[in-house]
Structure 1
Amino acid sequence: MRKVPLEIFPAIDILDSKAVRLSKGEKSSAKIYGEPLEFAKFFKDCNANWVHIVDLDAAFSGTVTNLETIKSIVKETGLKVQVGGGIRDEDAIKRYIDIGVSRVILGSVALKDPSFAKKMAENYPVAIGIDAKDGKVATHGWVETSTTTALDFARSFKDSKVSAIICTDVSKDGLLSGVNIDYTKAIASNSGIFTIASGGFKDVSDIDKLALCEDIGGVIIGRAFYEGNIDLRSIKFR
């Protein structure tokens, strides 16, 4: 069994109550895989510690949508859960924390109001999602692109209470083309915060490459699992 020095975050993206994967964040590309809870239970059986969940309905609408599904995952698996997608105010954060979510991910709202994100990080376990298209921060389910560079955005959270940064190269997401390691390392070095690589994970070779990068603490595995490129049962989770 391969021992992994990184924290592995198996992913579940929820759309219309189903586990799906998108390519490059495009809603029309959604491929349905099955029931979110069943996948979470499988991850638990593989001895995962965390599950990374994105409420895609909420990401596109800005309204918490799949709360009951996520609550059932927390309750029935005991996994630590980090959730992102459409979390844009303190009320939404509280709703997730109240059902036992271990960490919430702020994306669009953190770009719009960094001071709010930093304040929330002082009171709740908060990660910042930095999703980039051509080096610029993408927001609102990746349908909009700002003028702010991802590196400047990461740098703005240096010395804050933010517990993690999740960085995604949108151009690679869901394509099984390999993680953008240089981009992830740059985000980590500019922020000084525990950084999780996301987008494009291909197979165990990505784990081996990421494990050589001291700045990178974790990786999110999505389509590579669902398409059979990696067997999570063969990994000894940290």
Structure 2
Amino acid sequence: MSNVVQPAEHRPEIGRRVLRTLRRMLSELGFLLPSLPIAILGCSLIVSLFAVGVGTVLTFVGVFLLIGALVAARWFGMVEVARLRLAGRRDVPQPTPAVNGAEAGVVSRLKRVLTDRQYWSSLLHGAILNPMVSIFSWTVTVAWLAVGLGGASHWIWSQYAPDPERDSELSTVLANWLQPHAAGWVNAAAADDLLWAAAGAAFLLTLPLVTRGLVALHAFAARGTLAGSRLRPSATH
């Protein structure tokens, strides 16, 4: 009797796992899709401040610009870590500077920013590492979504595509590749929809694995540069 009831008992658990996977995938997409614009904005600001600061470092203006670049890099780094934690990567500690709050003097605090290696590590992340990782992850995410959603809905939008008489259907191209004279054996319209639907289904089914791997890549980069020895997990988390 227990063997008969057991499959039905597992159905709610399977449904909960599917819902958890979907929720996690949506939160990861919410992290990945804006990653490139945020990375480009941060890189542009940080690099501009740093370049002008280095060029005028012999003046007080240059020093303050360098400090501004370091502070901006740390701020964008904290935003990156907060976004990762919202995407489910609670293993990435929220950085908090290990600075004595009772430390007096503006000069000493500015000096600490210039000499603290964690600020420079954040600069490396915001100016070089994060833009590179974001370009890769954003490209893969958009391509995976385009093929998945476009393939699944190919039977809808393909009939409205311009030049419907063109001989470039996926099924015809595949048949020509397999055998030069096989194109005539294929009902191009129906086979094309089926092939695109299969490709779309494959990409959509593997999308949760792709988003998890890409967010893990961002988390790896953040742990290596934004959660160094001078930072500690926030006590509020």
Q: Name whichever structure is richer in helix by fraction.
A: 2
Greater Cα radius of gyration, structure 1 or 2: 2
Question: Which bracket does the TM-score occupy, shorter chain normalised?
Answer: under 0.3
| Larger relative contact order, structure 1 or 2 (CA cutoff 8 Å, min sep 6) | 2
**TM-score normalised by L of structure 1:** 0.21
Q: Name whichever structure is richer in strand by fraction.
A: 1
